[in-house]
Amino acid sequence: MEYIGYPEMILAAVCFLYLHRLNSKTTLTNWPLIGMLPSLLVNLYRLHGWATDILSRNACTFVFKGPWFTNMSNIVVTCDPANMRHIFGTNFANYPKGAEFNEFFDILGDGIFNADLDSWKTQRKMAHQFIIHKKFQSFLEQTSVSKVKNGLIPVLEHVLEQNLVVDMQDVFKRFTFDTTLILLSGIDPCCLGIEFQKFPFVDALDDAEEAIFHRHAIPMNLWKLQRFLGIGREKKLIKARESLDQFIAQCISKNREQHEQAKNKEQEEKGVDLLTSYMEQDDGSNSDKFYRDTVLNLMVAGRSTLSSALTWFFWLVSNNPIVEAKLIKELKKAISPENVDKKVKMFEMEELKGLVYLHGAFCEALRLYPSVPFEHKRSIKPDVLPSGHKVDTTTKIILYLYSMGRMEVVWGKDCSEFKPERWITEEGGIKYVPSYKFMAFNSGPRTCLGKEIAFTQMRMAAATILYNYQVKVIEGHPISPKNSIILYMKHGMKVKISKRVL
């Protein structure tokens, strides 16, 4: 019989302590050379929860030390509203998107998300001018109503009649892809249908968003090597870009043909899409690449964020019957008498605009599950954040929007609860909350231009579904965030649909 000697015992003890620390949910060990990377990799499957745990124990800000000589060597992670206000507002000029951001999001080209300085100002001014135009606003309302009536309702009725289990996240992705592309180009790709046909360009957008997330989780040199070799997630990103480029090129070509054939009278009646507006204002300086970058940037802003928001909203509502009952009560008061006797009831746009509790429920869902869970920045000059942390040009700053909604010091001891009342004043109006505390639509000069577009589409889709159907998540179906730059559910949201009895 062999006996275990002291060296083996010491080695076993060291391995035990190492694994214990490595698997700790909130411990960050700064190892020589590799820094805190092992802790990150071990907790990557629950990154948002892990970061939230650490932030809550460190007054909303901590310093992550990655491997030496990499772009991860010095990272300040924060969800402190004071830091958010400083970076996105007070000292905005010191925190542009920068070259590194452009590398991470290279698929977006020179579009508004990547743009800085004069290019960003020009693109933002142009987009804002088109979005607020009464013709586009009319087109937005027509599109929202039409796609709910002729796309979403037929699908849900089919699911109901066939007693099917359906992935509502997939339904919302298809719904928002259609509406977003119609608003952008006037073209309906018809992704939402009872056949649930697969579309490569829809999957390509998901693959791209997932690959970009992983660029944030590993050293830059590693993912650049993967890109050079054409392996791993970088291979999927390359294929995704090819698929999206081909699809968007077809949309631009088709829009250009329709624009040339369209009559001014028809445009007045039907409204106008954004791509047509851009082309009408073009003095010849806009290339197809400009249109490609514009469409892709706005597609991510519209389709991806909106489908995520609707999915988490319905999951929260389905798990909170008291909130659901209050929403139904508010909708009953709002619907027109002439719509009550119809098989499937739909609302007028004007009826939905004053629904305070529904608005509060949307904001509360976005507080807990912001569609974009984090952002990153670098300063162009040394600075000291309000939290006291020093940053310079070598410091990466991760702004964790997901975690901010779960901080007791920000939202109180009930921060983890789904409470639409949090957004309602004692007088029954919508409570003002500063954007640097509620970052779902960004803050400061880069506040999201599509905020009202999002609420318009969410109100119509959510109100119609809530009033006509009950959505129940399948018992035992796992719900957790996916590792992506968009906060999707990892396994989708499998549900059963039933007719709501009022």
Residues 213-217: contacts with CB under 8 Å, at least 24 apart: 213/483, 213/484, 213/485, 214/483, 215/104, 216/104, 216/374, 216/376, 216/398, 216/485, 217/40, 217/41, 217/44, 217/47, 217/483
The answer to whether residue 127 scores a pLDDT higher than 70 is: yes
Feature table: binding site: 448
The answer to whether residue 10 scores a pLDDT higher than 80 is: no
With pLDDT > 90 as the criterion, what percentage of the chain qualifies? 79
Superfamily of domain 29-499: Cytochrome P450 (1.10.630.10)
The answer to whether residue 3 scores a pLDDT higher than 70 is: no
The answer to whether residue 19 scores a pLDDT higher than 50 is: no
The predicted model scores a pTM of: 0.91
For residue 392, give every residue at least 6 positions away whose Cβ sits within 8 Å of its Cβ, in sequence order, or none. 379, 381, 382, 383
| pLDDT confidence bin for 22, thresholds 50/70/90 | very low
**Ranges of each domain in the chain:** 29-499
pLDDT at 339: 66
Segment 303-326 shows an average pLDDT of: 97
Q: Three-state SS string across 355-396, please?
A: CHHHHHHHHHHHHHCCCCCEEEEECCCCEECCCCCEECCCCE
For residue 211, give every residue at least 6 positions away whose Cβ sits within 8 Å of its Cβ, in sequence order, or none. 233, 234, 236, 237, 240
- pLDDT 10s digits, 171-194: 999 999 999 999 999 999 999 999
- pLDDT 10s digits, 399-423: 999 999 999 999 999 999 999 999 9
- Cβ contact 72:396 at 8 Å: yes
Feature table: binding site for heme: 448
Give CA angle at 28 (22, 30), nearest 5°: 95
For residue 251, give every residue at least 6 positions away whose Cβ sits within 8 Å of its Cβ, in sequence order, or none. 181, 184, 185, 187, 275, 295
Segment 322-337 shows an average pLDDT of: 93
For 116, 180, 226, 258, 297, the CA distances from 251, given in Å and listed in that order, are 27, 13, 31, 10, 14
